[in-house]
Amino acid sequence: MKLSKTVFICLAVAFVCTFCGAVNAEGFDFSALENKIFEATLNNGLKLIIVPNHDAPVVSMTTWANVGGSDDPKGYSGLAHMFEHMAFKGTTLIGVKDYAKEVVCIAKEDVLDRSIREERSKGLLADQKKLEQLEKDLQKAIEESYALVIPNEFTTRLQSEGAIGLNAFTSSDQTAYIMSLPSNKLELWIAMEAERFLHPVLREMYKERMVIQEERRMRTENTPSGRMHEEFLAAAYKAHPYGTPIVGHMSDIINYNRAEARKFFEKYYSPSNLTIALVGDVDPQEGLRLVKKYWDRIPRREKPTRITTVEPEQTAERRVVIEEKTQPSMMIGWHIPEEIHPDMTAIEAMMSILGQGRTSRLYKRMVLKDQIAVSTGAFAGYPGGKYPTLAVIYSYPAQGKTNIECEKIIDEEIEKLQKELVSKEELDKVKSRASIGFIRDLRDNLGFAMKLAKYQQLYNNWREVFKEVDKINAVTPEDIQRVAKKYFKKTNRTIATIETIKETETKEASK
């Protein structure tokens, strides 16, 4: 029986409440929960993690791919994000009316696109009339191919069976495919998920890259904050690909093609580079049987290696200034280690003290007391955590105030942490908030599934999830002072600001 969306959400809430009750009743002793988690590794390298809970007929799942924007090949920035889009376009059986005819149309598209790229690569010597004709021919081929497509069939099939939250995201470190659905439809999801990574058809490739181009315009090129973020990362990273935008550069996006996307898929979507996590109404042995039934068909491929490029030590402050007719704002980033480094827990505690919540030092001083900012905050781990990353503080000056005034107070508050130990009371509040926040993350079955998959990726061991609270509680005032001195130096930081252009300045510039 298909569940209505309302009934399904109620059952999901019931599951979450029951799950939370179990955790709370044990006083945050995770041992019972950890011991009930089932794991297995298929012969092809696929990692499976299952957390059973049978209090509601609901299951949440994620397929977690250990590939993100930082893995994009040179000349094809944003390809990881593009492939996330492609993964929803169906298979040889899903999303098409006549696959034999579609293959012919796809081949025609590829020939025309290759001709366009070859002509375009001539630069100033390219024949513009030839390019215009080729692009018209390609557009016609795209329309012919699209006529054979059943749009969004992969998604609509699952949604028609009660799936909610069906989505995906690409970060610098990973690509995740997520959803929740009635547990009696688990086999359908496992079968379809395996099928799209066994027989993917990169249909609508050239149609979709136009969607990505528009996404880039909206996310970056047409928004001052988007441009600031992109310039900030480009300045902060000279060597490591964390400095490359996840959405990709426009000149790369227009050159996406099926051949490169297929190479990318073959390299990074090996079962040995994937983790499936299921949380909810799943019998572990039955779940394993179903996963083996459908995923064992995918052959094992070599697991890709980590990026070997190491960002050189920053020895001088870097600044980027963007002038716009908009509200001023700023970002300051300091290079810090990767997420699994022992110093990260202390750095995260320091960021919490500085800029997380209304009781943080920066908020109380900048927003409430001095009223020089309308908003401020701090966090660690941008743009990723798999490799050495950044700790970031941002602020939005109040009307009549400046980025320089905000920067001065940020410097003063960091200097206090370098010179003075935080009090036990202040640190205890941070620890309590962090522990509660961590446990809150486990309350949502989809969030729990993603956390297990993420830790499996970062540590190669999902059990590290259950050590987080102990790490938080072990942080001392001396740890915070030590990391403040070690990492938060002016020579180790990058600053990006948006400075407001006044109307008179705009008129003068246009003369």
pLDDT in tens, 284-299: 999 999 999 999 999 9
Question: 303, 386, 273, 282: which is closest to 49 by C-alpha?
Answer: 282
Please write down the HEC assignment for all residues of 210-244.
HHHHHHHHHHHHCCHHHHHHHHHHHHHCCCCHHHC
CA distance linking residue 489 with residue 487, whole number of Å: 6
The CA–CA distances, whole Å, from 433 to 209, 430, 440 equal: 42, 5, 10
- Would you state the structure tokens that stand for residue 246, as one six-digit string? 């996840």
* For residue 172, pLDDT beyond 80: yes
Q: What is the pLDDT of residue 511?
A: 54
- Would you state the structure tokens that stand for residue 174, as one six-digit string? 């990973």
CA distance linking residue 90 with residue 83, whole number of Å: 12
Q: What is the pLDDT of residue 30?
A: 77
Q: Which amino acid is at 468?
A: E
Count of residues making up the chain: 511
The CA–CA distances, whole Å, from 252 to 73, 245, 299, 431 equal: 10, 11, 31, 44
Contact 332, 495 (CB under 8 A): yes
- Would you state the structure tokens that stand for residue 319, as one six-digit string? 């600044």
Question: 100, 238, 85, 294: which is closest to 175 by C-alpha?
Answer: 85
Q: For strand 318-324 and strand 274-280, is the pairing parallel, antiparallel, or unpaired?
A: unpaired
Average pLDDT along the chain: 92
What is the average pLDDT across 441-467?
A: 93
Contact 168, 88 (CB under 8 A): yes
- Cis check: omega of the bond before 383, within 30 degrees of 0: yes
Contact 447, 441 (CB under 8 A): yes
Label residue 189 by pLDDT band (50, 70, 90). Answer: very high
pLDDT tens string 463-510: 999 999 999 999 999 999 999 999 999 999 999 999 999 765 555 555
What burial letters (b/e) apply to 95-117, b meaning 16+ CB within 10 Å?
bbeebeebeebbebbbebbeebe
Q: Quote the crossing angle between the two packed helices 284-295 and 186-198, to the nearest 10°.
A: 30
What burial letters (b/e) apply to 466-476, b meaning 16+ CB within 10 Å?
bebbebbeebe
Label residue 123 by pLDDT band (50, 70, 90). Answer: very high
CA distance linking residue 312 with residue 236, whole number of Å: 11
pLDDT tens string 5-25: 333 333 333 333 444 444 433
pLDDT tens string 328-372: 999 999 999 999 999 999 999 999 999 999 999 999 999 999 999
pLDDT tens string 46-102: 999 999 988 889 999 999 999 999 999 999 999 999 999 999 999 999 999 999 999
CA distance linking residue 269 with residue 71, whole number of Å: 12
